[in-house]
Chain A
């Protein structure tokens, strides 16, 4: 079964080089695991990230005839966010503005690849 502390330790490995927090969300946008700095409301950010993912996935399916959304990169004035799917969950990385999109995408891809198998086992059990 899932070990919360071990999961949090794995998520924290992404929190270097300007990446402030890593979130794992379920399909409804609820926070499953969090690792990070600062006092920002991770639950609210996670819910919005989940909504963004779901909306673009649906619109892609309808309008691009492409139902496989791989990654969403969001740039805001104070930072960047990356969102991807892992097993039946969403992984979200939040970084400072100075982190480049390339690094953010590389890190989230590496982390999601690492978590895919163990989280898929949980999902299927």
Chain B
């Protein structure tokens, strides 16, 4: 079943040009499932990087504008789209010039998958 899930995520990753990785983690940044191509930096697929969003989404929720749902970072060469899908976190790593709108749309495409995975997380 994990292989089916990875295969599905690979297909979705390929649907957006220059999208290099899709990672699903828990709130602490621990990887549950990830797919990536060789263009994604290995260090960006680790808990040390992914956990920063877990902390920052809580901080952003205290800015007086309600709970944080997503943070998008544009770096010189990369962009990261990170989504708070409680109890999970969804991370996309792409080239700076990738289509951010299409990446955001993947949140809705992956909604059913995330719901199934979150049931497992909440059971544990």
Interface residues of B in 1-54 (CB under 8 A from A): 41, 43-44, 46, 48-49, 52
State the main secondary structure of chain B at its contact with A.
mixed
Are A44 and B41 within 8 A (Cβ)?
A: no
What is the interface size of chain B, counting residues whose CB is below 8 A from a CB of the partner? 31
B67: interface (CB < 8 Å): yes
With A56-B73, A63-B43, A101-B72: A79-B65 Cβ-Cβ less than 8 Å: yes
Q: Is the CB of A70 within 8 A of B76?
A: yes
B68 in the interface (beta carbon within 8 A): yes
Q: Which residues of B contact A56 (CB under 8 A)?
A: 52, 56, 71, 73
Which of B52, B68, B74, B78 is in CB contact (< 8 Å) with A75?
Answer: B68
User: For the complex, would chain A's binding face be called helix, strand, loop or mixed by DSSP majority?
Assistant: mixed
**B97 interface contact, C-beta 8 A:** no
Contact string, A68-89, partner B, CB cutoff 8 A, digits 1/0? 1111111111111100000000
Question: Which residues of A come within 8 Å of B, CB atoms?
Answer: 40-41, 44-45, 48-49, 51-52, 55-56, 59-60, 62-81, 94, 101
